Structure 1
Amino acid sequence: MTDEVVDAELVEEERLPAIPEDRTPAVPLADEDADAWLSDQAKEDVKAGIPEETSKAYEGDMDRFAAWCATVGRRPLPAAPQTVTEYLSYLKRTPRPRTGRPYGPKTMDRIIASIRSSHRAARFQPPDTMGARKVVAGYREALALAKDPAAQPRKASPADRKVLRLALGKLDRTTLAGKRDAALMLLGHALASRGSELVPLNWPGSFTELPDGGLKVRVYRKKRKLWQDIKVVPDPEPDLCAVRAARALVAALADEGHHQGALFLRMDRWGYLAPPMQRKGKPIGDPDGRMTIDAASDIVQRSIERTGLPGRWRSHSSRRGFVKSARQAGVDIVQIGRHGGWDDKSKALIGYVDEEDSEGENNPLAQIGRKAAEQQTKGQA
């Protein structure tokens, strides 16, 4: 995450030790190939293809790398392979002030990618990172053998129908905020959406009424960069019906004079819609009042934590919960993937399904046992 920082102090340049002459700079790309250049227009096109969150994370990673290089008298650009290896070794052993723990292996993988990407952007050949990656590999194994939770990727806990039923039971759905929070969680589950796909929804622009009483929702699958039309059918359990929840929210917003535009709006503690926000005297936030992805995660976390259920609850919990609900209902993995906008070969989806199938009736050993019992019964007959 971009708010993870390394405890480093900048040292004045004149006090830094000289760089030894045998540290040969990396070869500029332009010296390798006379055609290795891009127009300003092409650079902007490349930049447009990089998610904003990724760009911010990479920028922060490189700033902290440069700060560390300043303290030890090494060159951040172009960096020697040994410099990158040394830096990853340092990160492995250095607790961060915010958490009291070093970075995890996954974040360290991203930091290596950030350094390589920054070299390309500066038109330098990226340094060899084999040594740095070996540091991370050894670190990951040591954490795993120690059964340290940091060895495992931090995943959102799945909010399936059972979890949603409990969480919604704690909401006051007579209020505008309660209607919004219920619609956010239920639509997130029904659409199997990420927070970044749910927050941009507009009414009525993203929705089409269907003859059977359902809704067709047009969702932009951000990671795959494609639009998808998803049919959301009425649920036989009214309290878990995403269609009912969405319509209840739309009606409540209309009572407040909001008839179109962002569906999920920020509210203040008194229930006022889209209150103006400022930081250091300057307006911040979406001018239309649309909530942020972090705000959506906060709603999911707050709503589910009221139940006392343990877990890491984020906006992504609804997407994972859809997979769990669908597998419990016996839905085929291909149908799950296509409804949720996963690629047919998605490793993430397979990982979610494997986790769900390891429990209950879908456990392979449980299925083998049932089959063996059936055969034994037939043999005795």
Structure 2
Amino acid sequence: MPEPPRSEDLHAGPDSARAIAEALSAALPAHLERLTDRARGYVEAASSANTRRAYASDWVHFCSWCRRQGLEPLPPSPQLVGLYITACASGAAIPGGKANSVATIERRLSALGWNYAQRGTPLDRKDRHIATVLAGIRNTHAAPPRQKEAVLPEDLRAMLETLERGSLRGLRDRAMLLIGFAGGLRRSEIVGLDCGREQTADGRGWIEILDKGMVVTLRGKTGWREVEIGRGSSDATCPVSALQTWLKLARIGHGPLFRRVTGRGTDVGTERLNDREVARLVKRAALAAGVRGDLSEGEREIKFSGHSLRAGLASSAEVDERYVQRQLGHASAEMTRRYQRRRDRFRVNLTKAAGL
């Protein structure tokens, strides 16, 4: 008989780094404790903190559903998981809840697989009780992806005009918007930058300012990549000049590039900004600038996010598509095209090419 689940297993996602470290500590001599600590660091680096938090939350959601049904989440049962994702799709996973989107259900399923794997009891996602149900959910409920609105160059200029003039906060926000747009960076990549290489433990990359622009070195899901951000045609919209001005007046020469401005806007903290601040900045500036004024304020709140900057670059850069693909770090041109909001879709007309 399998060991019954402990209360902490039912109510929280496992800290895999700690679990592995404790397992190693129990199995290995004391003089190998340093390797145990190193193993903990590597396990934590295997996935982002946001991913671990999401997986922990999904595990709690699943265990709570099991408890209400009088069922046990352990050992893994494909039949049980199939019923769970059915409940998620129908809005019956929690009392008075709403039906989850297909994307949310797929994430929850990934979370279950991850959590079960950490416990040494893998879940077979290819089992027909899961795979067939999931296929039916996709066929029934899948909808086209809801794309965020692209911030185009004219929108960005208007947004820059709404920022606080002559304040450190305004200078910081200007630099973040321009670098995020010109580099096609994700919000986590923007706030994860340091002034130089290996300056902080939580940094995701660093910058090097050159005569003709700036090289951004980033650590992504598939390894390291470099992004080149050239100087703009004017100081007002040059991302490199904006960053240099912010660093100079904020007196930042080491550590995180973008930090919280405290007090009355005259003090700069030491810790890096949270990536959610980028999304808030884009939303706030877009609303203040009247971007997409044809929409209601609520609709505009939903339309704009940190991804609007990446979509803006992809939609605006009049260059060969492969250069945009490389800048955004996409593995395929098809992914880059998903970001392009105003590309010429009929540049290649196969109807005429076929003689019709």
User: Is 1:263 aligned to 2:257, yes or no?
Assistant: yes
Q: 1:179 aligns with which of 141, 163, 171?
A: 171
Query: What is the CA deviation profile of residues 84-139 of structure 1, one whole-angstrom value per residue up to 9, with x for unaligned ones?
Result: 11111111222789996322110100111111222222112414554334444434
Contact preservation (8 Å) 2:225, 2:329 = no
Structure 2 partner of 1:285:
none
- CA shift, 1:181, in A, is 0.8
Of stretches 187-196 and 100-109 in structure 1, the one that deviates more from structure 2 is: 100-109
| Structure 1 residues 268 and 100: alpha-carbon distance in aligned structure 2, compared to 1, 3 A threshold | farther
Alignment of 1:182-331 (within 5 A): 182-203=174-195, 206-211=206-211, 214-228=212-226, 230-254=227-251, 258-268=252-262, 270-274=264-268, 288-308=270-290, 309=292, 310=300, 312-326=303-317, 329=318, 331=319
Taking structure 1 as reference, are residues 64 and 125 closer, same or farther at Cα in structure 2, changes over 3 Å only? same
Question: Counterparts in 2 of 1:1-381, with a 5 A limit?
Answer: 41=36, 44=40, 45-94=42-91, 101-128=98-125, 129-143=127-141, 151-203=143-195, 206-211=206-211, 214-228=212-226, 230-254=227-251, 258-268=252-262, 270-274=264-268, 288-308=270-290, 309=292, 310=300, 312-326=303-317, 329=318, 331-343=319-331, 345=332, 347-353=334-340, 355-357=341-343, 362-364=344-346, 368=349
Partner Cα separation in structure 1 for residue 303 and residue 263 of structure 2? 24
1:265 touches 1:273 (CA, 8 Å); kept in 2?
no
Shift of 1:224: 2.4
Q: Is the 8 A contact 1:274 1:289 kept in 2?
A: no
> What amino acid is aligned across from residue 319 of structure 1 in structure 2?
R
Task: Deviation per CA, 1:57-78: give whole Å up to 9, x if none.
Answer: 1111112111111111212011
Percent pairwise identity: 25
Contact map agreement 1:273 1:289 (CA 8 A) in 2: no
Report the residue type matching 1:208 in the other structure.
E
d(CA) in 2 for partners of 1:303 and 1:107? 29
The residue aligned with 1:378 is none
Distance in 1 (alpha carbons) for counterparts of 2:95 and 2:69: 23
Aligned partner letter, 2:276: D
- Three-state SS of the structure 2 residue aligned to 1:289 is strand
Tell me the distance in 1 between the aligned counterparts of 2:236 and 2:228: 19
1:47: how far off?
4.5
Partner of 1:197: helix, strand, or coil? helix
Shift of 1:159: 1.6
State how far apart, in whole Å, the 1-side matches of 2:70 and 2:116 are: 19
User: RMSD of the TM alignment (CA)?
Assistant: 3.2
In structure 1, runs of 5+ residues without a counterpart are 1-12, 14-37, 145-150, 276-287, 376-381
**Aligned counterpart, 1:17:** none
Match of 2:18 in 1: none
Higher mean C-alpha deviation, range 153-162 or range 94-103: 94-103
Q: 2:352 and 2:235 mapped to 1: Cα distance?
A: 37
Q: TM-score, normalised by structure 1?
A: 0.70
The alpha-carbon deviation at position 188 of structure 1 amounts to: 0.6
Greater radius of gyration (CA): 1
Number of residue equivalences: 303
Provide, for residues 293-326 of structure 1, a one-character-per-residue CA deviation record: whole Å limited to 9, x for no partner: 0112111111112123235222222122111111
Paired residue type of 2:330: W
Name the CA shift for 1:74/1:296 in 2 (closer, same or farther; >3 Å).
same
* Residues 186 and 371 of structure 1, relative CA distance in 2, 3 Å threshold: farther
1:221–1:341 CA contact under 8 A, matched in 2: no
Shift of residue 80, structure 1, vs aligned partner: 1.8
**For residue 363 of structure 1, what is the amino acid of its counterpart?**
R
CA contact (8 A) 1:164 1:240 kept: no
Q: Which amino acid aligns with 1:292?
A: N
Give secondary structure in 2 for the equivalent of 1:173: coil
